[in-house]
Amino acid sequence: MKSSKRVVMLVDCQSFYASVEKAEHPEYKDRPLVVAGDPERRSGIVLAACPIAKSKGITTAERLGEAVAKCPDLVVIKPRMQRYIDVSMLITDIYKSYTDLVEPYSIDEQFLDVTGSMHLFADTPKEMARIIQAHVQAATGVYTRFGIAETKILAKTACDNYAKKNPSGIYTLTKEMLPETLWKRPVSDMFMAGSRMTRHFNAMGLLNIGSVAQTPLVKLKQMMRRKFGKNSDIQAEMYWRIANGIDDSPVRSGTHQVAPKSVGHMMTLPFDYREFDHILTPLLELTELVCQRCRALGFMGHVVSVGCMGADFDRPTGFSRQMKMEDPSNITNQVYHWARRLLETYWDGLPIRRIGVSLTQLTPDNEYQLSLFDTDRERQMALERTTDALKLKYGNAIVIRAVSKTAAGQALDRSAKIGGHYK
My answer on whether 232 and 314 are in the same domain is no
Q: How far apart are CA 65 and CA 83, in angstroms?
A: 25
How far, CA to CA in Å, does 272 sit from each of 277, 312, 313?
A: 13, 11, 13
Is 394 domain-assigned?
yes
What pLDDT is recorded for position 42?
Answer: 41
Of 205, 221, 244, which residue is a domain's last?
A: 244
Is 249 domain-assigned?
no
What pLDDT is recorded for position 259?
Answer: 61
Is 29 domain-assigned?
yes
My answer on whether 203 and 352 are in the same domain is no
What pLDDT is recorded for position 371?
Answer: 52
How far, CA to CA in Å, does 302 sit from each of 97, 116, 237, 258, 370?
A: 42, 44, 36, 19, 15
The bridge status of strand 75-77 relative to strand 102-106 is: unpaired
Is 372 domain-assigned?
yes
What pLDDT is recorded for position 65?
Answer: 86
What pLDDT is recorded for position 186?
Answer: 95
Is 403 domain-assigned?
yes
pTM higher than 0.75 = no
My answer on whether 159 and 279 are in the same domain is no
My answer on whether 291 and 414 are in the same domain is yes
Is 143 domain-assigned?
yes
Count the neighbouring beta carbons within 10 Å of the beta carbon of residue 324. Answer: 13
Of 141, 172, 203, which residue is a domain's last?
A: 172
Q: Which residues contact 17 (CB under 8 A, 6 or more apart)?
A: 35, 47, 48, 79, 84
Beta strands in 312-423 (DSSP E): 318-329, 352-364, 417-418, 421-422
CATH of the domain at 327: 3.30.1490.100
How far, CA to CA in Å, does 152 sit from each of 40, 180, 208, 346?
A: 40, 20, 21, 45
In the residue annotation, 109 being an active-site residue is answered as yes
CATH of the domain at 103: 3.30.70.270
My answer on whether 152 and 23 are in the same domain is yes
Is 252 domain-assigned?
no
What pLDDT is recorded for position 237?
Answer: 93
Instruction: Answer yes or no: are the C-beta atoms of 96 and 102 closer than 8 Å.
Output: yes
My answer on whether 19 and 128 are in the same domain is yes
Q: How far apart are CA 146 and CA 384, in angstroms?
A: 45
**Active-site residue (options: 21, 103, 109, 150):** 109
Q: Is 108 assigned to a binding site?
A: yes
Q: Which residues contact 177 (CB under 8 A, 6 or more apart)?
A: none
Domain residue limits at 129: 1-172
Q: Nearest 5°: phi and psi at 123?
A: -90, -25
Q: How far apart are CA 223 and CA 350, in angstroms?
A: 44
For residue 171, the number of C-alpha atoms closer than 13 Å in the C-beta half-sphere is: 22
My answer on whether 137 and 197 are in the same domain is no
Counting the structural domains of the chain, the total is: 3
Measured on CA atoms in the order 24, 30, 31, 37, is the torsion positive or negative?
positive
What pLDDT is recorded for position 397?
Answer: 79
My answer on whether 115 and 222 are in the same domain is no
Q: How far apart are CA 388 and CA 394, in angstroms?
A: 10
What pLDDT is recorded for position 2?
Answer: 44
Q: Which residues contact 51 (CB under 8 A, 6 or more apart)?
A: 14, 15
Of 119, 147, 172, which residue is a domain's last?
A: 172
What pLDDT is recorded for position 412?
Answer: 75
Is 253 domain-assigned?
no
Report the chain's terminal Cα–Cα distance, integer Å: 43
Three-class SS of residue 124?
A: coil
My answer on whether 80 and 209 are in the same domain is no
My answer on whether 22 and 122 are in the same domain is yes
Grouped pLDDT means (10 residues each) for the chain, 423 residues: 76 96 94 81 77 94 89 91 92 96 94 96 96 96 96 95 94 95 94 90 94 95 88 90 93 66 89 94 94 91 93 80 91 94 94 93 74 65 84 80 83 68 62
CATH of the domain at 208: 1.10.150.20
My answer on whether 232 and 375 are in the same domain is no
My answer on whether 189 and 162 are in the same domain is no
